[in-house]
Amino acid sequence: MNACKPGHDPLVKSVVITALFPEAVRSADALIRAIRLAAEDGFYDTVEFYYEGDPSADIRKALDGFAKPSVFLGGAYLKKHRLNLGSLDEEHRQYAISETKRLIDQAYGFGSSKILLTSGETLSSAAERLDSFERLAESLKELCAYAAERAQERTLDITLEFFNDRGEPYFLIGPASLTKRLAESVVSECGNFEITFDLSHVIQLGEAPAESLATLLPYVRHVHLANCYLKNPDHPMYGDKHPPFDWPDSEVSRDAVLMFLRDLKQQGFFDRQEEWVMGIEVITPESADALELYQATTRLYREWIHGLHQLREDTVKGS
């Protein structure tokens, strides 16, 4: 984790570029165009992405156009291929670890500062879930050690994103209380482990964002601003689909995000000595234009940051 210089804002603003431009997951040319678009915008400090291919000099050069290193979304691969780092099938768990080590090597090739991982599916019985939890913690410790061994300029941070365990995608990690237990276990041995706090996942879990944030406060160094739709289980956007923030009947309004930013402020995120990343994540629906949605999403993020700055100025004036 990079320490902030005096007077510098610890917030690193990012956008999940491959959610908005899904073709960039498979196409190097599309990825480079998307990266350059975000860099030339002048607002974002970095991007978050997943790419199926190997790092290339052209992709790395495009990423170097940002002030801060990228976040590599390795969890996209784990989720797509149903790889479970807490699997009770030891052969599968070892394969998942091997594949994740390959993702860590990719992240280093892109010059990323973080790699995001997922836990894998939850299990039916309490005993199985406990066993899976222990195996997940063991896997993460091994992966953190591997990332430290492979470090050159910086040590890659392993950040675990927690999801809904009672709805799609039915992942073990899971409620904030269980996420905290996992973080405590891994951090006790590994200094390069942290938690990704996705606003929409907390809503899907039925938890209050401020309370979940307080529970996980020492471990959160990566935040996702995202929306979800939960009104109708038969709707194609139901669950963890991250629709635009103006999606009809969705759960996370513009004002709700601003309230969440106030929660972050009250819990000291903007006064931290170390940098932390906050990315906005919107998945482009099939009917939408990706470029137009990127532009609208960026305008919205700018508005929130402006509102946050105004809130901070008002607080200073009132003190």
* Contact residues for 155 (Cβ-Cβ < 8 A; gap 6+): 147, 148, 192
Q: What is the dihedral of CA 291, 37, 277, 318, to 10 degrees?
A: -80
- The reported pTM is 0.94
More confident of the two residues 8 and 266 = 266
Structure confidence by residue, pLDDT tens digits, 123-169: 989 999 999 999 999 999 999 999 999 998 899 999 999 999 998 89
Both ends of the chain: CA-CA distance in Å? Answer: 31
What pLDDT shows up at residue 289? 97
| CATH code of 140's domain | 3.20.20.150
What pLDDT shows up at residue 9? 85
Structure confidence by residue, pLDDT tens digits, 250-301: 999 999 999 999 999 999 999 999 999 999 999 999 989 999 999 999 999 9
How many whole angstroms separate alpha carbon 31 and alpha carbon 36? 9
What pLDDT shows up at residue 6? 46
DSSP 122: -
Q: Span 169-186, mean pLDDT?
A: 96
Asked if residue 124 is part of any domain, the answer here is yes
Rounded alpha-carbon distances, angstroms, from residue 197 to 55, 201, 205:
27, 8, 12
Peptide bond into 174 cis (omega under 30): yes
Query: Is there a contact between 155 and 143 (Cβ–Cβ < 8 Å)?
Result: no
Rounded alpha-carbon distances, angstroms, from residue 193 to 105, 129, 268:
17, 21, 20
pLDDT > 90: percent of the chain: 90
Structure confidence by residue, pLDDT tens digits, 45-83: 999 999 999 999 999 999 999 999 999 999 999 999 999
Q: Could you give phi then psi for residue 72, rounded to 5 degrees?
A: -95, 125
Asked if residue 307 is part of any domain, the answer here is yes
How many whole angstroms separate alpha carbon 306 and alpha carbon 87? 44
Pinpoint the alpha helices (H) of 169-281: 176-187, 199-204, 209-216, 254-266
Asked if residue 127 is part of any domain, the answer here is yes
What pLDDT shows up at residue 4? 47
Q: Span 28-40, mean pLDDT?
A: 98
Asked if residue 3 is part of any domain, the answer here is no
Asked if residue 4 is part of any domain, the answer here is no
The boundaries of the domain holding residue 197 are 11-318
Taking 3-state DSSP, the helix, strand and coil percentages for the chain, each rounded to the nearest 5, stand at: 50, 15, 40
How many domains does the chain contain in total? Answer: 1
- In the chain, count H helices and then E strands: 11, 8
What pLDDT shows up at residue 318? 58
In this predicted structure, the answer to whether residue 1 has a pLDDT above a threshold of 80 is: no
Asked if residue 2 is part of any domain, the answer here is no
What pLDDT shows up at residue 30? 98
Tokens in use for 52?
């199926």
Tokens in use for 86?
């807490």
Dihedral of alpha carbons 235, 241, 246, 252, sign: positive
Strands 193-198 and 157-161: parallel
